[in-house]
Amino acid sequence: MKKDIKSRIDYLRNEITRHNNLYYEKSSPEISDAEYDALVKKLEKLEKEYPQYASKESPTQKVSGLASSSFASVKHAVPMLSLDNTYSAQEIALWYDRTLKNAENTNIEFIVEPKVDGVSASLTYVNGELVTGATRGDGETGEDITENIKTVESIPHKLKDKNGLPDFFELRGEVYIDKDNFADINKEILENGGQKFATPRNAASGSLRQKNPQVTASRKLRFFVHSFGSVHGKDFKKHSDFLDYCKKCGFILQNDIKSCKSLKEITDLTAEMLEKREMLRYEIDGLVIKVNDLQIQKELGYTNKSPRWAIAYKFPAKQATTKLLKIRIQTGRTGIITPSAVLEPVELSGVMISHATLHNFEEVERLNVNEGDTVLIERAGDVIPKIIKVAKKESEGFFKPPKYCPDCKSEVVKEKEEEVAYRCINPECPEQFRRHLIHFAGRNAMDIEGFGEAVIDQLLKRNKLHSIADIYRLTFDDLFELELFKEKKANNLIKAVNESKKQPLSRLLFALGIPHAGEKVSEIIAKQFKNIDAAAAASVDDFIKISEIGGVLANSIKEFFENGSVKHVIETLKAAGVNMTQPESQNSGAQFEGKTFVLTGELPTYTREQVQEIIKSLGGKTASSVSKKTSYILAGENAGSKLEKAKELGITIIDEREFIDMAEKDK
């Protein structure tokens, strides 16, 4: 038994060391952060229960990182420690109580900061001048990455304070990458045939530890300051004084740093930040709670690897590893065949996950993924997680696209070589029709409540649906005989079907599914032509004249209206009494109705997508270039030529705060 414990401890130590190497050296972990944290907790527990096996060499006793590498080494003036962490609210409460008790003070102020998911770096300023930039390394000694650090825009080379600069200032912070830039870097890496980074943290770390500083410079790294090591010639009383001073010196601080005076304030803030997490332009993986008073910090002191005056409260994990059991292929409404992943169930942010998206077969090839592999999955905001990478290759090669439609068995084609999608082009394919019915009745299309997949499947089985227009021919009896249908439910569905006849043309066009045209384009066409006959009679040129519609789309719309079966469906829907016109304005009352926004620079809190979504939801539009038609220019940090042009044209310039105020007005 004892021997078993010892070998379990050895195994965990080796595993943790191996994962440290993958994380710090290769920037390419095999497991998620949460799975790594769980391994460390397991080892800590065993070492506590069996102190006879304690060892100074255990990874639980040291700050993990790299002790040696091909970079020159730098000894930190004050060691760079790590943070104790937990995912549990209960443990935070225990830490909070312990802190008040140990400090013999019931009135402590805490500073709570987002925990930026990046790489820590130490910057040394001598008489206000940046002389060294280093990684954390093993905590005592880091790697000299000064030249790379100097390429990070938000790191000042000279501190701005005019009077009383500290003669020695060792400050620490997090080098990170914005979500948008992370996506761009991965795109570029893939285009060059490389392996993409699994997280922005890996990308920041990989980019920071480049031998060529020009590569680092191209990666648009950023920096937030969060703590300090050795300081001579400057005295801070509080952590917040230190942060304020850094701001004065020219550093950019995070927006969401808050002061909390009770556990309740901390837990409320955690809930708030969990909500906000997806909206931030950079990744955070939790909050860091710190005692503000530096004298109290000193009294509380340190363990051998972390301060007692701070703790990381980590958010539920977004990533996990699991086995890819099967790749399922499905035919969609437009005939496109898509692969999706069936996974060995795994828990992710409190939900059991058993499926993931795989986008298309090009992605499958890029990931080099096949059934049986262990994969790293991520669920970020979206409902269905995606596969980030193969964590462990356990099968040969990648899963190949099918030769035949999984439903109607007709041959699958790739219409053009450069096209990504494989399609079933059989116009009679039953699965395409089934998917089209689901789409037609869906929430964003005709919105027929109660007409979901289960009802559609039953009606198809009973041969009640042969064309889209058959939906409007269904009788009470057709529905009453369905499973789980009683009089009331059948009547409600008939009512919902009838109600849907009144939907505006924009929804009808989207429901009919013009190839390449989504909701937005369907709405533009509807607003422009007002009724379906006018839209059907329009020429390719008429469509091209609309600024949002290009040549390919214009041809696709024309082809759609000329298609015999589309014409037939439109006529039968008309005969059934379905509305074919667009009412005057769908958005009246929305505060951005008729307004066009141009975005430039980086906003402090919201991502571009987020802002675009808000503008759209309030009836406005976004455009990519400034013209006389622009109503507002929303400018953030590092705004460039667009801002200049806006000034020339006298366009109103607003910042993120003003924008949010406008969006929230009259709500």
Q: At 23, which amino acid appears?
A: Y
In the stretch 284-323, what mask flags binding to ligand IVH with x, by CB under 6 A?
----x------------------x--x-x-----------
Q: How far is the CB of 244 from ligand IVH (least distance, A)?
A: 15
Contact 220, 208 (CB under 8 A): no
Contact 651, 630 (CB under 8 A): yes
Q: How far is the CB of 45 from ligand IVH (least distance, A)?
A: 19
Report the residue from 17, 73, 82, 572 that binds ligand IVH according to the rule CB under 6 A: 82
Residue 118 or 339: the one with the smaller Cβ distance to ligand IVH is: 118
CB-count exposure of residue 663 (10 Å: 0-12, 13-18, 19+): middle
Of 336, 518, 359, 384, the closest CA to residue 444 belongs to 518
Rounded to whole angstroms, how far apart are CA atoms 640 and 543? 33
59 counts as binding ligand IVH under rule CB under 6 A = no
* Number of residues near ligand IVH (by CB under 6 A): 14
Q: How far is the CB of 507 from ligand IVH (least distance, A)?
A: 46
Report the residue from 30, 33, 35, 174 that binds ligand IVH according to the rule CB under 6 A: 174
122 counts as binding ligand IVH under rule CB under 6 A = no
- Which residue in the block uniquely carries the two structure tokens 């439609």? 405
Residue 287 or 376: the one with the smaller Cβ distance to ligand IVH is: 287
Give the number of C-alpha atoms closer than 13 A to the C-alpha of residue 218, restricted to the C-beta side.
11
83 counts as binding ligand IVH under rule CB under 6 A = yes
Tokens of 320: 């996990």
In the stretch 95-114, what mask flags binding to ligand IVH with x, by CB under 6 A?
------------------x-
Residue 236 or 561: the one with the smaller Cβ distance to ligand IVH is: 236
Rounded to whole angstroms, how far apart are CA atoms 656 and 654? 7
Q: Give the pairing type, strands 386-392 and 652-654.
A: unpaired
Q: In which order are the strands placed within the sheet that holds 652-654?
A: 621-623, 596-600, 632-635, 652-654
Of 216, 239, 334, the closest CA to residue 291 belongs to 239
Report the residue from 12, 74, 81, 149 that binds ligand IVH according to the rule CB under 6 A: 81
Residue 115 or 219: the one with the smaller Cβ distance to ligand IVH is: 115
Those residues whose C-beta lies under 8 Å from the C-beta of residue 472, and which sit 6 or more positions away, are: 497, 501, 573, 576, 577, 578
Residue 220 or 308: the one with the smaller Cβ distance to ligand IVH is: 308
Rounded to whole angstroms, how far apart are CA atoms 526 and 510? 10
CB atoms within 10 A of CB 194: 10
- Interface region with ligand IVH, contact rule CB under 6 A, candidates 79-87, 403-411, 495-503, 504-512: 79-87
CB atoms within 10 A of CB 564: 7
Of 197, 143, 657, the closest CA to residue 389 belongs to 197
Residue 5 or 40: the one with the smaller Cβ distance to ligand IVH is: 40
Q: How far is the CB of 27 from ligand IVH (least distance, A)?
A: 15
Q: Which residues are catalytic?
A: 115
240 counts as binding ligand IVH under rule CB under 6 A = no
Q: At 12, which amino acid appears?
A: L
Q: How far is the CB of 82 from ligand IVH (least distance, A)?
A: 5
Residue 78 or 420: the one with the smaller Cβ distance to ligand IVH is: 78
Contact 249, 161 (CB under 8 A): yes
Rounded to whole angstroms, how far apart are CA atoms 637 and 664? 22
116 counts as binding ligand IVH under rule CB under 6 A = yes
Residue whose Cβ sits closest to ligand IVH? 120
- Interface region with ligand IVH, contact rule CB under 6 A, candidates 24-32, 77-85, 455-463, 534-542: 77-85
**Which residues face 340 on adjacent strands?**
328, 357
Report the residue from 32, 99, 120, 202 that binds ligand IVH according to the rule CB under 6 A: 120
Residue 113 or 478: the one with the smaller Cβ distance to ligand IVH is: 113
Q: How far is the CB of 174 from ligand IVH (least distance, A)?
A: 5
Q: Which of residues 604-643 bind ligand IVH (CB under 6 A)?
A: none
Q: Give the pairing type, strands 632-635 and 596-600.
A: parallel
Residue 288 or 348: the one with the smaller Cβ distance to ligand IVH is: 288
Q: Which long-range contacts (CB under 8 A, 24 or more apart) does 522-526 make?
A: 523/586, 524/548, 524/549, 525/557, 526/582
Q: How far is the CB of 93 from ligand IVH (least distance, A)?
A: 20
What is the sign of the dihedral through the CA atoms of 129, 132, 138 and 140? negative
Residue 37 or 447: the one with the smaller Cβ distance to ligand IVH is: 37
Task: Provide the residue count of the chain.
Answer: 667
**Which residues face 328 on adjacent strands?**
340
Tokens of 410: 């007709």
Q: How far is the CB of 39 from ligand IVH (least distance, A)?
A: 15
Contact 392, 374 (CB under 8 A): yes
Q: How far is the CB of 335 from ligand IVH (least distance, A)?
A: 47
User: Which residues of this chain interact with ligand IVH, rule CB under 6 A?
Assistant: 81-83, 113, 115-116, 120, 174, 226-227, 288, 307, 310, 312
